[in-house]
Amino acid sequence: MVGISRGSVYYQPKSVSAPNLALMRRIDELHLEHPFMGARMLSDQLNRSGLDAGRKHVGTLMKRMGIEALYRKPGTSKRHPGHKIYPYLLRGLAINRANQVWALDMTYIPMAKGFVYLTAVVDWASRKVLAAKIAITLEACHAVDVLLEAFNRHGTPEIVNTDQGSQFTAEEFVKAAKDRGCKISMDGRGAWRDNVFVERLWKSVKYERVYLHAYDSVNEARKSIMQYLDWYNRSRPHSKLGKKTPDEAYTVMLPTIEQAA
């Protein structure tokens, strides 16, 4: 009735050992630099640097972090049991208008002791972060929250693109997008495709803010990252945008009334 998920109310954080937190931090760094690496290759890299980690253990930590190797896969991706997977709609599509395509994704955020997850909505053409949320779980309700916030602040896109993560294939998320008349597009499971710009956003967030701090609390992480995203939109120019900031590009790329009609 109050819009709070059962999982958020009853969730009890499970302690993670210091060695595992160190492994997860290093896995996160390696994943940013080499997103094609799976558990086996990551295990090899960790072992070479003196960190003892078997392939199965690395795979378990990757699942907990919500990451997987990214690469092009032939054929049709395996579908999550019970969840409908929507086709990828962006192949060959010229994306040059604000609110034409929004992308949603999540990433793991390490703290001094523990970790959280960042979910964000990004306008594809302008790279503007339209809404974001820090949470302690990977539940679909957090993806719904950021999508609804973006709707309320910026209108409705033509297409919402995500990966096949369970938070995005969940019925409540799909319904939230469809209720606003959005088409849903999903990358193939583990596919690299065009959404490299979202991975670059995560890299910027982590190397320019997260890795420079050891957050002691969720609130501290939330405040710091949200401040960074505000600065990113207002003040960080992009070469792909003709040295405009995301805010500037978004304003320029908004369709006129005639174009919208």
pLDDT in tens, 130-169: 999 999 998 999 999 999 999 999 999 999 999 888 899 9
Using the predicted structure, report yes or no on whether residue 252 has a pLDDT greater than 80: yes
**Claim: this prediction has a pTM higher than 0.75:** yes
pLDDT in tens, 74-90: 433 344 556 789 999 99
Crossing angle of the two packed helices 246-253 and 218-235, in degrees rounded to 10:
60
Alpha-helix runs per DSSP H in 109-240: 140-154, 166-169, 171-179, 196-208, 218-235
Query: Cα–Cα distance between 228 and 249 in angstroms, integer?
Result: 18
Residues 6+ apart with CB under 8 A from 88: 161, 185, 186, 187, 188, 191, 193
**To which residue do tokens 């693109």 refer?**
161
DSSP 187: P
